[in-house]
Amino acid sequence: AQSVTQPDIHITVSEGASLELRCNYSYGATPYLFWYVQSPGQGLQLLLKYFSGDTLVQGIKGFEAEFKRSQSSFNLRKPSVHWSDAAEYFCAVGFIRDTGRRALTFGSGTRLQVQP
């Protein structure tokens, strides 16, 4: 069965510092990987996705993520964090069920706080 692990429940960084949010997945086939952000009171917004090709993917708001098959990881990075980046971040793996239908499995999320 597929699963997603985000080992860090809560991270605090200073504004301007670099950021890396960890995500590890378990899935027997080629994974389809996503990072979503949820700002307070808002819905889930897609930051970036990986389907195939270049393992370093660029997303919105200056975020990037690198797919590492050997480590089953898809970590999210940003070189310089802004106060507006404070939010909850969810990693998700897309998979095809036995019935052929797709679904997303989400990690438990990492809450990012940004200190001035």
Partner 1 sequence: EPEVTQTPSHQVTQMGQEVILRCVPISNHLYFYWYRQILGQKVEFLVSFYNNEISEKSEIFDDQFSVERPDGSNFTLKIRSTKLEDSAMYFCASSDQGATPSMNTEAFFGQGTRLTVV
Q: Does 96 bind partner 1 (CB under 8 A)?
A: yes
Closest to 112 measured CA to CA, from 41, 40, 60, 25: 40
- Interacting span for partner 1 (CB under 8 A) from 16-24, 34-42, 61-69, 73-81: 34-42
In the complex, least distance from residue 80 CB atom to partner 1, rounded to whole angstroms: 26
- Compute φ and ψ for 12, nearest 5 degrees: -120, 130
Q: How far is the CB of 48 from partner 1 (least distance, A)?
A: 11
- Residue of the chain from 32, 66, 72, 75 that contacts partner 1 (CB under 8 A): 32
- CB 56, min distance to partner 1, A: 19
CA distances for 113 relative to 15, 23, 89, 110, angstroms: 9, 18, 11, 10
Q: Which stretch binds partner 1 (CB under 8 A): 15-23, 61-69, 73-81, 96-104?
A: 96-104
Residue of 36, 59, 33 lying closest to 46 (CA atoms)? 36
**Three-state SS for 70?**
helix
